[in-house]
Structure 1
């Protein structure tokens, strides 16, 4: 079962599952895919737009190689603590199991083990798909608190290849890359290195081709900061292409900031489309 993000959120809000409630307006907010249990408050939240989660290091070996040891993507970590009576670990687990199962997800491990001291809680690992995005959910229970980690893996889309870039440039004079830079930073993520190699292959196959590498952002933040960031990201891609043996004189880096959107900046989907790097034929 595949659900758009808004559909998934609506499902959780309307499913009638015991204990689920949205965060109040103006407070630290839950993740849009899964809300916290009622009776618990969100005490901390960290978000990294491009990170690697060492799954088996935290959760132990999963059955049948269900997931790789390292999972890449946007990683959101949240800690919930009881406010008032709260609920016990099993009640928390059952509610999340029901919500994720109703969304078409599945649990990949038991999350419990027995030792001389009784039950030992280990993280429960779930996998589901929201629209085209594979999502891994890790629920770490304790006697009173619990932690929720959500890894949104790279969306399944058309593979970036040198031939695809060449076709786009021939058809429109521009080819678009969506490189998941970390928020506010210009360091090229590991996932972007594969795209860089395809750009280098494109340029080797077409020795006369010259490209302008142009960075774009959404409109979150200050316009001047976005302009600087887009320039730095374009330069990071250019430097990586040059490191592949391409002559620097065939390239130039340009930053446009938030000035040339291609989608609605009022929506998450639109902002994601606007955060892009374009290859423009010179």
Structure 2
């Protein structure tokens, strides 16, 4: 009769493509603090998570063509959502053999639709297996399983292929070029809480680029101008846009930019750049503009 751990792992992993793609915190009390593992690839029973990384985008070279003389991976490089997980056997847990560990993951991944791209078993290189699994919309999940210490430790590198999402609207250099050429620049990445002048945390990277711009161009003065859509009264929109521009000014001053280099103005809904009759148009009209002052 198959070992219970083998049945458990195969069943859990066989359905992992149907589970949510949210990142879940590791929950075993022996796991390292704050570590996360892949949300839908179960660990082998009896192991704890010693180390882990997770990135919205990263690249990894899989050893799909083996290893070079210095142990470097040779093969396919894939970019996308990235996980790295390093598992160790718990003290007192039943140690699986390397063969048992390998066959469990082989069975589970193949049942989930993956194929084995390559198995590296040379004594001079890490014992690793590379899997490739088709996902929705043409994406793929690439997995590299590496075994150590006769099965008492294993590592996984996982990439779910995707293009990198551009999260930064403009760099400081981009802003400088635009302001030199056109004198003004519209930023949609500075976001506020609905109906308020409270800057959302996701705006911090872009605001830091504005700060960097002002550090790079120490003679420049900027007008920070807030704009809204036309939802609500004109007077309320004018007041809200002014407070939002002032919030951006206050943030930059708190980051070391001299207040005399900045001014804040609210334009309300008086200068739309798109049709307020559609949600997409209203989103474009909600913006902060930087205007270079003489």
TM-score for both structures, normalised by structure 2: 0.47
Higher RCO structure, 1 or 2 (CA under 8 Å, sep 6+):
1
Asked which structure has the greater CA Rg, the reply is 2
